[in-house]
Amino acid sequence: NYDTGWDVLLRAFVREFPPGPRSAQLVLKLGYQTENQDMTKARFERALAACDECPKRVPSNVFIINRRLNDTELGALYDIADAYVEPGHGSGCMSVTAMRMMMQARPVFGPSWNFCSRCRVPGSRDGSTGVFTVKVTAAIPAFTEVWQDFALLSDQLDQDFVEIDEEDLRRQMRALASLGSFKRRGLGIAALTSALHLADRTLVGSALLARLEALQAQHVA
């Protein structure tokens, strides 16, 4: 379930990364169902309240965005992505989250669509020309990119959303956070030139990858 998936991600994140100087950030880019930010925060605080190990309020290193990006913001994202994509490697889209991670030399977890003019696919939820791809970019250390793209793909194919093991997600977060800044930058750079969408299989769960690849095969067929 798309909405429930965000709750699982939030609970895993707040237990692994308390707020503080140079702490990891979680950016929840939600749909456009409501303009009332308080209602959205209240919803997530209810999810946290059900967790004994979690804070009762959304911490300061969690950011919630529930508005539609305007044309200027979308254009800026395309410009950034295109500048970092090697010609001829359409699957090497640069996500905004991964770019922030590289510039700030720290892990930044958040939903990051692949914005790239060279490899867009049909299926934009906005119905606009700026199409979000359903491809999972190789080696991008932003776990919710997998969630986001898988949810979009499964929605297009009328499939049930796969369940993700919360403890496995936390282990992946710890593994990424333990890397030095040079290694994290290297992971981001690897995403620019890889010709494979799922090259680094250590960053995401194997069960999710198998399910995603099966759905991608159906989608292509």
Q: Span 103-120, mean pLDDT?
A: 35
Least confident of 1-15, 60-74, 178-192, 206-220: 178-192
Sequence letter at residue 127: G
Other beta carbons within 10 Å of 78: 15
Nearest Cα to Cα of residue 42 among 63, 57, 59? 57
Tell me the C-alpha distance between 85 and 192, whole Å.
6
Q: Higher-confidence residue: 88 or 17?
A: 17
Q: Higher-confidence residue: 17 or 35?
A: 17
Task: Check residue 59 and give its pLDDT.
Answer: 92
Q: Span 208-219, mean pLDDT?
A: 52
**Judging by beta carbons within 10 Å of its beta carbon (0-12, 13-18, 19+), is residue 221 exposed, middle or buried?**
exposed
Compute the chain's Rg from CA coordinates: 17
Does position 171 have pLDDT exceeding 70, yes or no? no
Task: Check residue 106 and give its pLDDT.
Answer: 34
Strand partners, 116: none
Q: Is the dihedral of CA 149, 46, 63, 200 positive or negative?
A: negative
Task: Check residue 30 and give its pLDDT.
Answer: 61
Task: Check residue 146 and give its pLDDT.
Answer: 40
Average pLDDT of every residue of the chain: 52
Q: Which residues contact 30 (CB under 8 A, 6 or more apart)?
A: 6, 40, 64, 65, 66
In DSSP notation, 109-121 reads E-------TTS--
pLDDT tens digits, 56-95:
899 988 877 666 656 665 555 555 444 444 333 333 333 4
Q: Span 15-42, mean pLDDT?
A: 70
